[in-house]
Structure 1
Amino acid sequence: MLKTKKIIVLGSCNTDMLVHTHRLPAPGETIMGGDFIMTPGGKGANQAVAASRLGGEVTFITKIGNDIFGRQSLEVFKRENINTNFIFSDAEHPSGVALITVDKDAENCIVVAPGANKTLSKEDIDQCREIIESATILLMQLEIPIETVEYAAKIAYNAGVKVILNPAPASFLSTRLLQNIHILIPNIIEAEVISGVKISDGETAKKAADIIHQKGVGTIIITLGKFGVLLKEKGGYYNIPIESKIKAVDTTGAGDTFCGAICVGILEGMSMVESVGFANTAAGISVTRAGAQLSIPYRKEVETAKKS
């Protein structure tokens, strides 16, 4: 099948309801918060918007409810120049919602009510098979059913499409899934769950990457927060720092911005090290702003930041 230089993002679509507060509450505790923001979100949607804003040609595959949140999300994707032809609607389940609390240090805690996201099925993927098989990259996360992720990964991998998985939220992944993944982008917690290794420094991060590689993944990109990124590719390790002068306001959506940017870098022929650097710059801009999709930068902003 003729390949097109397109990114397919398969994943969740939520509406984020975000409250800023001085600190995160303890179990059973009620505290007074500050500003409230309601914005479009969901890891899949965030990554689709990021890839589109940064220059990628994006098709988003997701499922929304037949409600105001779903309709508002659909309009957002159209404004972001994302192909919405494969966004399914569920008449029985509401659109997904995420409740997010962000503290003064920009740390967050998130609870997701998946709604229609949890009904995105293998039968839905069958309706998208042709466009998946014709793409260059398939990017996925884990806020939709794991069997749907596994099914789509196998279809794409067998068609020669580069399969990228951001394994969030953290979950055990089967060997059959990992063997159909070209690039895995976990954070520390996700890498620990998949590898069984407690990550405390660069050496333990390398050990975790080695174990994940042995499970079948060719390239592993572990995001280490303020300590930067560990890239394992073709037997080599690369420690790629982040900009230390960045003052974080809200880290919500930073990982999604990073993943979308990685896809654009690869699509444009950047090396993996260059793609990670590009993604670090984009994610670094996003943490200086509140919200998930609201914080995602445009390509011109990233190019300006890299020059400064």
Structure 2
Amino acid sequence: MKVLVFGEILYDVYGDKYSIGGGPFNFAIWLSRMIGKKEALTMISALGNDELGLKALEFAKKEQINTSCIELSSKFPTSKALVFLNEDKIPDYIIEEGIAWDNIIFNEQISKSLDFDYDIFYFNLLAQRFDASANTLKKIMDKVKAKFKVFDMTLRKNYFTKEKLSDALNFINVLKVNEEELELVKKLFYPDFKSDIKQILTLIQKDFNIPYIFLTLGEKGSCLQSLNGFFTKDARKDIKIVDTVGAGDSFCAALSYALVKNLKEEEILSFATEIAENVIQLQGGTTFFDFYHIQKKYF
């Protein structure tokens, strides 16, 4: 399995505690762990040439990620995001601007990475918030060769445009959204649509030609609209939620892995749900747990 990931690496800050993260990086870490092979996954990002950045780079290497396309910037610092959890343990963020991953520059290393054929290419919306990184992503999208083009919206504040969202939806064949993000899609593209989830997912699938649309519903579980129909998975009710940061990223990593492994729709949802349900019982989006027994059940 060969994977290319584009997007932010940052530190989630909980008071005086720093936890490495960023949606694409969380995704990359979990997927790299599932693959279990050195440098099968390449990450395209940027870090500051500072203490936090060097620490993040070393962590990525320990997780067997190919870091040749992670730039170290002497001009822009490593990113931090202040995390606030509401009473339902749902996070909100204040994300610094003028930081390294806002300035991912297309270079020779990135160009070389596009010579390969990939099973998965992953990107999100947040990493496109400013022109430098957005322009680099456009060049990558023009050239990348991948069986599954996975888009996890990662909606944050007002860091999006309808044009960027439309370009992404027209490019991909796998979409992962949560309820809030689905509401944004409805507001921008289907403002008069009043029907149920199944119908709106079917409409998005048809209009943008997306074979797989995954929707996470928090405590209500998740669902999948594929070319074979509509599938649902209930969430367990007996889980003590500690922190939902990174849950959606681990879910997306698991579904991506399962797609490449040709699992059936019901099994994809079950596997991704089991992984995410364990992540939310831990502090931090990349905290390791022994997931191999779950993996062995399905593969």
Q: TM-score normalised to the size of structure 1?
A: 0.82
Paired residues for 1:2-81 under 5 Å: 5-19=1-15, 36-55=16-35, 57-81=40-64
Secondary structure, counterpart of 1:293 in structure 2: coil
Q: Could you list the structure 1 runs, at least 4 aligned residues long, displaced by more than 4 angstroms after superposition.
A: none
Residues 1:138 and 1:272: Cα distance change in structure 2 (over 3 Å): farther
Counterpart-to-counterpart distance in 2, 1:210 and 1:74: 41
CA contact (8 A) 1:67 1:94 kept: yes
Name structure 1 gaps, 5 residues minimum. 20-35
Residues 1:264 and 1:13: Cα distance change in structure 2 (over 3 Å): same
CA contact (8 A) 2:126 2:153 kept: no
Task: State whether structure 2 residue 222 is matched by structure 1 residue 229.
Answer: yes
Q: % of aligned pairs identical?
A: 24
Equivalent pairs, count: 279
Deviations 1:107-131 (Å, cap 9, x if unpaired)?
Answer: 221111151111113x24x642443
How many angstroms does 1:298 deviate by? 4.2
How many angstroms does 1:240 deviate by? 1.7
Residues 1:272 and 1:62: Cα distance change in structure 2 (over 3 Å): farther
Secondary structure, counterpart of 1:186 in structure 2: strand
How many angstroms does 1:242 deviate by? 2.1
> In the alignment, which residue of structure 1 is the partner of 2:196?
204
Residues 1:147 and 1:192: Cα distance change in structure 2 (over 3 Å): farther
How many angstroms does 1:257 deviate by? 0.9
> In the alignment, which residue of structure 1 is the partner of 2:280?
287
> In the alignment, which residue of structure 1 is the partner of 2:155?
169
> In the alignment, which residue of structure 1 is the partner of 2:110?
128
CA contact (8 A) 1:187 1:223 kept: yes
Counterpart-to-counterpart distance in 2, 1:174 and 1:11: 15
Q: Mean Cα displacement is larger for which, 273-282 or 103-112?
A: 103-112
Deviations 1:83-132 (Å, cap 9, x if unpaired)?
Answer: 111111121110111111224532221111151111113x24x6424434
Task: State whether structure 2 residue 104 is matched by structure 1 residue 113.
Answer: no
Task: State whether structure 2 residue 194 is matched by structure 1 residue 194.
Answer: no
CA contact (8 A) 2:123 2:151 kept: yes
CA contact (8 A) 1:65 1:95 kept: yes
CA RMSD of aligned residues (A): 2.5
CA contact (8 A) 2:151 2:168 kept: no
CA contact (8 A) 2:68 2:109 kept: no
CA contact (8 A) 2:231 2:265 kept: no
Name structure 2 gaps, 5 residues minimum. 129-133
Counterpart-to-counterpart distance in 1, 2:140 and 2:289: 29
Secondary structure, counterpart of 1:175 in structure 2: helix
Counterpart-to-counterpart distance in 2, 1:186 and 1:84: 27
Counterpart-to-counterpart distance in 1, 2:270 and 2:155: 24
Residues 1:53 and 1:102: Cα distance change in structure 2 (over 3 Å): same
How many angstroms does 1:229 deviate by? 1.2
Secondary structure, counterpart of 1:280 in structure 2: helix
How many angstroms does 1:303 deviate by? 4.1
Counterpart-to-counterpart distance in 2, 1:58 and 1:298: 20
Task: State whether structure 2 residue 126 is matched by structure 1 residue 138.
Answer: no
How many angstroms does 1:192 deviate by? 1.4
Counterpart-to-counterpart distance in 2, 1:87 and 1:118: 13
Q: Mean Cα displacement is larger for which, 166-175 or 131-140?
A: 166-175
Task: State whether structure 2 residue 252 is matched by structure 1 residue 256.
Answer: no
Structure 1 counterpart of 2:203, which letter?
I
How many angstroms does 1:244 deviate by? 2.3
Q: Mean Cα displacement is larger for which, 70-79 or 164-173?
A: 164-173
